Structure 1
């Protein structure tokens, strides 16, 4: 603002210099000339004084007009400068606001990208953890499978050794392992021998198993794990389950003389017959594999 006032003072000075130029010289020279002309006029005539006054009045009018024009120009320039300054301030404010909005948008976009990446990272971490758990479970299952196979191999070897040692006849069907004795004992003694080996007397659960066992028999009669010793007529297997599917021979069971234990015949039909539990027959042990 001080600079603007300084510029105005310089302009006023210029205006006065222009006025002096129009008049032809500075005020002191004009005064001297005026005095000389007055004296000359007094000596010659009085008509030149009126003309000189007219010229001076004209010069003053011109100067005043120039001052008015210059003041108007300065006013217009000042108004334009003021308007431009306001527009500049507004533009600067708008620029600052746009800059802030741009920075805010960039910050929001970066934050959104960061959040999305964080979510993806957590999802990947969760998937990795799940896969790790599944891998460990599969590894555990694989190890258990290997252990089971190893135990089955050891069991089979033990069973084969046992069968070879006692010269028993051994065979398998579905998920069961069978041992057929080569001597004869009572039903109770036969069961005790099976239990000492970790097994029990044979339980027949289906027609297919009945036919398979019939093909393995070499003796005429062989003990199986079926009896009604607890209650007459209620036939149960050694595991406590009741009899549901029977393969009795014709006319059997007849409980002749207190027959409470069951043998299987070595015949094409491989039927059953009740017999005295104290009789001595071969037996078949069964052990689930």
Structure 2
């Protein structure tokens, strides 16, 4: 009987424990259910919110970094573009100028050849014509023809003769021209287009500035100038001398070259 009572007590305790456990489990389930109903969003989206926060922070940092770099990159690209444009413009200008220069050089060369041929023909024609008519000689130098006379005349008559040949007594404009004519005159003396009327002037009215007088001249021996192999000398205009006429075919200016 004693054992039977102990068994009954044990079953009673077991039943009480099981009942308490089941009630406890039911209360836990009810609390979980209530929790889920009260804050389902916070409960389920908490990790997402955290991840979103980190994502926004990351995105913000990237945006900041991206905002730091575009300005220098744009400036560099713009500079490269401008540099490339300048190089292309310079190349085009250089090519155009080169073509124009080559064309200009070609035109000048052609014009020079034409003028040279014209002068050669003119010189040859004048020389043959004058040789048949008066037996005298023309020489050519630097766009001008010079008549070296074989006759002897006074200064005034020499100039008149030159006028008849569409020329005038020679006017010397440079040392080179003086040296060329000095080689021609030899041991003779030739009248040139220089005369003194208070001051030494050329036949075109220009006052003498650079003279090529022989040593010790002028000596006031006369009012007309004559050329010798050593330079100029003054002498009486009435003396008879050989003479040099000059006919200028072309004249230069800053604008063009005039030939007649």
TM-score, normalised relative to structure 1: 0.55
Task: Report the CA distance shift for 1:191/1:67 in structure 2 as closer, same or farther (over 3 A).
Answer: farther
Of 235, 247, 251 in structure 2, the residue corresponding to residue 273 of structure 1 is: 235
Q: Name the residue aligned to 1:139.
A: 106
**Correspondences of 1:6-21 after superposition (within 5 Å):** none
Q: Which runs of 5+ in 2 are unaligned?
A: 1-7, 250-260
Task: Report the CA distance shift for 1:148/1:215 in structure 2 as closer, same or farther (over 3 A).
Answer: same
Of 204, 214, 231 in structure 1, the residue corresponding to residue 185 of structure 2 is: 214
Q: Name the residue aligned to 1:7.
A: none
Partner-residue secondary structure (3-state), 2:236: strand
Q: Name the residue aligned to 1:238.
A: 203
Q: Quick check: 1:61 aligned with 2:61?
A: no
**Correspondences of 1:143-222 after superposition (within 5 Å):** 143-166=110-133, 167-171=135-139, 177-203=145-171, 208=179, 211-215=182-186, 217=188, 222=190
Q: Quick check: 1:286 aligned with 2:246?
A: yes
Find the aligned partners of 2:214 and 2:16 in 1 and give their Cα distance.
Answer: 164
Question: Does the CA-based 8 Å contact 1:181-1:284 persist in structure 2?
Answer: yes
1:168 is displaced (CA, Å) by 0.7
Partner-residue secondary structure (3-state), 2:186: helix
Larger Rg: 1
- Deviation per CA, 1:107-165: give whole Å up to 9, x if none: 83655544433232222222223323433432343234333323332333233234433
Partner-residue secondary structure (3-state), 1:242: coil
Find the aligned partners of 1:92 and 1:254 in 2 and give their Cα distance.
Answer: 111
Greater fraction of residues in strand: 2
1:268 is displaced (CA, Å) by 9.8
Q: Name the residue aligned to 1:128.
A: 95
Question: Does the CA-based 8 Å contact 1:263-1:275 persist in structure 2?
Answer: no
Find the aligned partners of 2:82 and 2:219 in 1 and give their Cα distance.
Answer: 82
Question: Does the CA-based 8 Å contact 2:221-2:234 persist in structure 1?
Answer: no
- Deviation per CA, 1:168-195: give whole Å up to 9, x if none: 1234567764212344555333213323
Task: Report the CA distance shift for 1:158/1:64 in structure 2 as closer, same or farther (over 3 A).
Answer: farther
Q: Name the residue aligned to 2:48.
A: 81
TM-score, normalised relative to structure 2: 0.60
Task: Report the CA distance shift for 1:225/1:105 in structure 2 as closer, same or farther (over 3 A).
Answer: closer
Q: Which runs of 5+ in 1 are unaligned?
A: 1-44
Find the aligned partners of 1:77 and 1:144 in 2 and give their Cα distance.
Answer: 99
1:98 is displaced (CA, Å) by 8.4
Task: Report the CA distance shift for 1:122/1:201 in structure 2 as closer, same or farther (over 3 A).
Answer: same
Tell me the matched-pair count.
Answer: 230
Task: Report the CA distance shift for 1:63/1:89 in structure 2 as closer, same or farther (over 3 A).
Answer: farther
